[in-house]
Amino acid sequence: MSNPLQELPLLPRFDQLHPEQVAPAIDAHLAACRAVLERGLAEEQPGWDSTLAPLEEAQDRLSRAFSPASHLNSVLSGDWRAPYEAALAKITAYWTELGHNRALYEVYRDIEKDPGFSDWPQARRKTIELGLRDFRLGGVGLEGAERERFAANSRRLAELSSTFANNVLDATSAWTYQTDDEGELAGLPDTALAAARAAAEGREQSGWLITLDGPSYLAVMTHADNRALRQRVHEAFVSRASDLGPDAGRFDNTPVMSEILSLRAQQAQLLGMGNYAELSLASKMAESSDEVLEFLHNLARRARPAAQREFTELQAFAGETLGLEKLQPWDIAWAAEKLKHERYAVSQEALRPYFPYPRVLAGMFAVVERLYGVTVQTDPAVPVWHKDVQFFWLLRNGEKFAGFYLDPFARDKKRGGAWMDTVTTRRQGSAGLQLPLAYLVCNFSQPTADRPSLLTHNEVTTLFHEFGHGLHHMLTQVDVGPVAGINGVAWDAVELPSQFLENWCWEPEAIAMISGHYETGEPLPVALLEKMLAAKNFQSAMFTVRQLEFALFDFRLHCLAEGASPQQIQALLDEVRAEVAVVPVSPLNRFQNSFSHIFAGGYAAGYYSYKWAEVLSADAFSLFEENGIFDAKTGQHFLHTILEQGGSRDALELFTAFRGRAPEIDALLRNSGIES
């Protein structure tokens, strides 16, 4: 029987994929990688063409086979979990084994030492440079027991990362609150009530069902007048995957975190580093832990006084207008929405009817066409994994050069949040030029029988953010896989293109393209637009210190030389909150237990990257502010200097090529409404 994961057409055959196909396909591709490596190293003169290029091609096929399995585990879970985890263990072992291959390392080193190396194409030189770095970080210099320990740690860390993510997903899916009393849901907008009704029907229950999926949770916290309901939902959410709350101990990530931190610290020590933060920074723009901490503390010093003023105003409003003597954690979003409406007469719900998902999507594509001269075209013939998913081609002058899948709506057993991931990478191989393909995933409210999914403006910016990542991957002109698209890009710069594209969500000329009433097509009224823009920086300082809380907690946690016990983790988070936070926290809050970015994603000792890259994106956008937001020359300049270059050059070099100077923080502070 044929196996699409072994045959590997450019577009995965999602209509023919089954979990039992994963193991034989991954085994076959791993065997092929090892055979290609053995042949390449046996060559009389191992080098780029004889050794590295064939190996990279075999590894690309491995990646293309694993990509659908990994993706389906995230968006469907269920039967895909076990084969994904088994494959992940084998692939982790392979990469660890490769990182310890001295003979292969010497091929890279001999290439770098060759007198003609400086004349090589830039992308190939960068690939060798990054390869040598990764060998060092992968433990190629270790011997004997230390090498074995490093390899065992790597395998175990992959397992623990998957376990952490599974616990968060299962904890999120396990908790629901059903009610037949619509009065309990007073204040919820019609869109949220319809979604709660649909959720109940989907599980064959009566009435309305509240879940911990993003749209449902946020609707309750922002709009439910029932304070007891807000508390119930908030406590269930903030205690997910912990030893507290309604599912205490059932999906507990507490021991998982400690083991992850201990193993990361061990890996750093084995490589001769003081802590995991040093190991993390070896592949980032920031040059030292001191530089990162100073950056975060500097931003905190500027933002916290404004954040404290914002919270004091909210407390006063809650007491005088809402009758809340003391703001509890489950009151903050609700009270803030009331204050925002009183001050600006605007709310996310008032904006929803003007941001129907189909209109936003078409408008976003039109924005990108004006900026970069590319068009987007749907292709309903491409097989997908769920009826909600669409596939699109990117075209330039009528020619397809990239594509992406878009999975926009929340559903049961789908990982929360929003993300972009790779299907294929642009690369020149033996069969010709391979086109880059991406997954874009969001968790917006489902459409109903009588209306499309209506987005909040926050969700509009989320869609633009993820498409910005996708464009970075798809618009690359680099054809050497390891540095094409997002590959090889410093992690603290990878958010630049995504945050950069969000700026157009706040520009009236672009808003006219992405908005229109879902029933009449009527444009967003000028008065409502002006209120939305006036409210742009409402509580932006409070949001900033919240992000700084996450970033400082993450970075300081990974600066610890020996990892941390559960008690130390909590103590450090409490300490960071005392330094920068301004809002109260529930006693049941175990935020760390669901902090997937750092325990199950790529942001360990790197969450600061969001703010670091925000400096870059705000400063980059300031050139458009000077020249016009749709200035074709500036758009092409950004395309050629940033998006097309991938990881072929250092991020600071690319930014400087675009902006003509090093990045400055002023634009971020100005755009956030925080005085410099």
Asked whether the predicted pLDDT for residue 644 surpasses 70, the reply is: yes
What's the pLDDT tens digit per position in 343-377? 999 888 889 999 999 999 999 999 999 999 999 99
4-169 and 353-534+610-671 in the same fold:
yes
Which residue in 441, 433, 442 sits closest to 476, CA to CA? 433
Q: What is the mean pLDDT of residues 184-199?
A: 95
- CA–CA separation, 665 and 672 (whole Å): 11
Q: 271 with 149: CB under 8 angstroms?
A: no
What's the pLDDT tens digit per position in 242-268? 999 999 999 999 999 999 999 999 999
Work out the pLDDT band at 676, boundaries 50, 70, 90. very low
Mapped onto helix, strand or coil, the DSSP state of residue 586 is coil
H-type alpha helices, 447-539: 457-474, 496-502, 508-514, 526-534
* CATH placement of domain 254-346+540-607: 1.10.1370.10
Work out the pLDDT band at 1, boundaries 50, 70, 90. confident
Asked whether the predicted pLDDT for residue 81 surpasses 70, the reply is: yes
Q: 37 with 15: CB under 8 angstroms?
A: no
- CA–CA separation, 423 and 473 (whole Å): 10
Asked whether the predicted pLDDT for residue 213 surpasses 90, the reply is: yes
Asked whether the predicted pLDDT for residue 528 surpasses 50, the reply is: yes
Structure tokens at 437: 């393909």
What residues contact 66, with CB distance under 8 A and at least 6 apart? 26, 87, 91
What's the pLDDT tens digit per position in 537-580? 999 999 999 999 999 999 999 999 999 999 999 999 999 999 99
Express as a percent the part of the chain with pLDDT over 90.
96
Structure tokens at 562: 């020996």
- CA–CA separation, 500 and 607 (whole Å): 18
Radius of gyration of the chain (CA): 25
**Active site (catalytic) residues:** 466
**CATH ID of 353-534+610-671, from 1.10.1370.40, 2.60.120.10, 2.60.40.10, 3.20.20.80:** 1.10.1370.40
Q: What is the mean pLDDT of residues 167-176?
A: 96
What are the domain boundaries of the chain? 4-169, 175-238, 254-346+540-607, 353-534+610-671
- Averaged confidence pLDDT in the chain: 96
What's the pLDDT tens digit per position in 473-500? 999 999 999 999 999 999 999 999 999 9
pLDDT at residue number 670: 86
Question: For 4-169, which CATH class?
Answer: mainly alpha
Work out the pLDDT band at 675, boundaries 50, 70, 90. low
